[in-house]
Structure 1
Amino acid sequence: MAVTEEVPEARVREPGPSVKPRWCLGTRLLVGASVLWAVLLVLHVLLAGRWWPWLVVEAVPPVALVAVPLLLLALTPLARPVRRWLAAALVVPLAVGAYLADLVPGFPDGAVRGTEVRVFAWSTDYWQMTDDKDAFYAFLRRQDADVYLLQEYLYWVDDRPVRIDDSARLRREFPGYRLSVEGELLTLSRLPVVAEHHREVPASGDGWYWQGAKTQRTDIRAGGRTVSFYNVHLPVPFRVGDNPLGSGFRSFLKEQYDRRDRELSALRADLKANPHPAVVAGDFNSPWMGRLRPLGAGTEGHRPDGSPFAGFSWPVSDYPLPRLWRLDWLFTGGGVGVPDYRLGGGEAFSDHVAQSVRVVVPREAS
Structure 2
Amino acid sequence: MSATEVGVPDKDPSSPPAAVPTDGPVGTASPPDGRRRRATRLLVAATTAWTVFLVLTVLLTGRWWPWYIVQNTPPLALVAVPLLLLLLVPLARPVRLPLSAVLVVLLLAGAHLAGYGPGWGTATANHPGTPVKVFVWSTRYWQMSDDKDAFYAFLRRQDSDVYLLQEYLYWQGDEPVRIDDSARLRAEFPGYRLSVEGELITLTRLPVVTAHHAPVSGGGDDWYWKGSKFQRTDIRVGGRTVSFYNVHLPVPFHLGNPLKFSTYRALRDRGHWWTGELRKLRADLAGNPHPAVVSGDFNSSWMKLSSLGAGTRLHSPDGSWLPPRSWPVSGFAYPRLWRLDWLFTNHDLAVAGDRFGGGAEFSDHVAQEIRVVVPDRAPSAPSKSTS
TM-score (ref. length: structure 1): 0.91
**Residue 41 (structure 1) aligns with:** 54
- CA–CA separation in structure 1 for the residues paired with 2:87 and 2:323: 26
Is 1:258 the counterpart of 2:285 in the alignment?
A: no
- CA–CA separation in structure 1 for the residues paired with 2:156 and 2:340: 24
- Amino acid paired to 2:215: E
1:27 shift after superposition: 1.2
When residues 317 and 145 of structure 1 are mapped into structure 2, their CA distance, relative to the original with a 3 A threshold, is: farther
- CA–CA separation in structure 2 for the residues paired with 1:202 and 1:43: 38
Contact 1:227 1:276 in 2 (8 A): yes
- Aligned to 1:149, the other structure's residue is in SS state strand
Is 1:272 the counterpart of 2:273 in the alignment?
A: no
Contact 1:312 1:325 in 2 (8 A): yes
* Aligned with 1:288 (options 296, 302, 323): 302
Matches within 5 A, 1:177-326: 177-238=192-253, 242-290=256-304, 292-309=305-322, 311-315=324-328, 318=331, 321-326=334-339
**Residue 87 (structure 1) aligns with:** 100
Is 1:175 the counterpart of 2:190 in the alignment?
A: yes
**Residue 21 (structure 1) aligns with:** 31
- Aligned to 2:116, the other structure's residue is in SS state coil
**Residue 101 (structure 1) aligns with:** 114
- CA–CA separation in structure 2 for the residues paired with 1:24 and 1:61: 32
Contact 1:238 1:249 in 2 (8 A): no
User: Structure 1, unaligned stretches of length 5 or more?
Assistant: 1-15
Contact 2:115 2:322 in 1 (8 A): no
1:206 shift after superposition: 0.7
- CA–CA separation in structure 1 for the residues paired with 2:333 and 2:279: 33
- CA–CA separation in structure 1 for the residues paired with 2:275 and 2:329: 27
**Residue 351 (structure 2) aligns with:** 338
- CA–CA separation in structure 2 for the residues paired with 1:39 and 1:358: 39
- CA–CA separation in structure 1 for the residues paired with 2:117 and 2:99: 26
Contact 1:153 1:185 in 2 (8 A): yes
- Aligned to 1:311, the other structure's residue is in SS state coil
Is 1:128 the counterpart of 2:146 in the alignment?
A: no
- CA–CA separation in structure 1 for the residues paired with 2:238 and 2:299: 32
- Residues 97-141 of structure 1: per-residue CA shift (max 9 Å, x gap): 122212245242126311000000000000111100000000000
Q: Could you say which structure has the larger radius of gyration?
A: 2
- Aligned to 1:280, the other structure's residue is in SS state strand
- CA–CA separation in structure 1 for the residues paired with 2:74 and 2:88: 22
- CA–CA separation in structure 2 for the residues paired with 1:58 and 1:154: 28
- Amino acid paired to 2:207: P
**CA-atom RMSD in angstroms:** 2.1
- Residues 1-56 of structure 1: per-residue CA shift (max 9 Å, x gap): xxxxxxxxxxxxxxx98598355211111111111111111111121111101001
When residues 49 and 115 of structure 1 are mapped into structure 2, their CA distance, relative to the original with a 3 A threshold, is: same
- CA–CA separation in structure 1 for the residues paired with 2:50 and 2:329: 30
* Aligned with 1:166 (options 154, 161, 181): 181
Contact 2:298 2:340 in 1 (8 A): yes
- Amino acid paired to 1:92: V
Contact 1:112 1:360 in 2 (8 A): yes
- CA–CA separation in structure 2 for the residues paired with 1:139 and 1:111: 28
User: Structure 2, unaligned stretches of length 5 or more?
Assistant: 1-22, 381-387
Contact 2:313 2:346 in 1 (8 A): yes
TM-score (ref. length: structure 2): 0.86
- Residues 161-200 of structure 1: per-residue CA shift (max 9 Å, x gap): 1111000000000000000000000000100000011111
- CA–CA separation in structure 2 for the residues paired with 1:234 and 1:127: 17
1:249 shift after superposition: 3.0
- CA–CA separation in structure 2 for the residues paired with 1:307 and 1:244: 40
- Aligned to 2:264, the other structure's residue is in SS state helix
1:293 shift after superposition: 1.9
